[in-house]
Amino acid sequence: MTVFEGTFTNIGSARFAIVIGRFNDLVTEKLLGGCQDCLKRHGVNPDPNGTQVDYIWVPGSFELPMMARQMALTGRYDAIICLGAVIRGQTAHFDYVAGEAAKGIAATSFQTGVPVVFGVITAENMQQALERAGIKSNLGWNYALNALEMASLMQQVQGSHASYQQTQALPHSQENQFTQSQAQQEKHS
């Protein structure tokens, strides 16, 4: 049995996209700074003019999943980090935005096979959000660390199982034919 563990170094020329919500940018810019610091300290060049990290600004957290999906579908990225901040107000808007962002980001990751990190702070007030974005700690660092680990894991798993998958996997149409013939045999038994 093989044990896979992500590393935070040896990621080579991995590429990352960071999708940032502009709404509550006082918070999201601090999260972005934490991400960039973490990536740089782990050997990734976060320079916007470099080749390893692309930055995409969207209006707010609700738009994060759509743009993350577009970026994932390009096939250029080993991981994507979504950064946003949703602060509770007097209406239910907070619940809808935070919930849809979470569902959309998770769905993007599952549908595309690209790790997409949920880096959306949900807070009761601005003070609480700022504490999570730099006053007490910067969760942007954690989100980047998650992306590094997932990119590493994906490289390991895909690399070690590539030959196995080529010899064992049936194309979808052959798989359906096999299942149909099995069903016919069982029906006649």
SS3 142: helix
86 belongs to an annotated ligand binding site? yes
The answer to whether 97 is a known ligand-binding residue is no
- Catalytic one of 93, 161, 172, 188: 93
Eight-class DSSP state of 55: E
Is 15 annotated for ligand binding?
no
Both tokens of residue 22?
A: 């502009």
Cross-strand bridge partners of residue 121? 85
Active site residue 93: yes
Q: Tell whether residue 137 is among the known ligand binding residues.
A: no
Is 132 annotated in some ligand binding site?
yes
Q: State yes or no: 87 annotated in a binding site.
A: yes
CA distances from 111 to 103, 117, 164 (A): 12, 14, 22
Q: How far apart are CA 150 and CA 142, in angstroms?
A: 12
Q: Are 80 and 114 in contact (CB under 8 A)?
A: yes
Residue 183 labeled ligand binder: no
Binding annotation:
23, 61-63, 85-87, 90-91, 118, 132
Binding annotation for (2S)-2-hydroxy-3-oxobutyl phosphate:
90-91, 132
Which amino acids are annotated catalytic? Answer: 93
Binding annotation for 5-amino-6-(D-ribitylamino)uracil:
23, 61-63, 85-87, 118
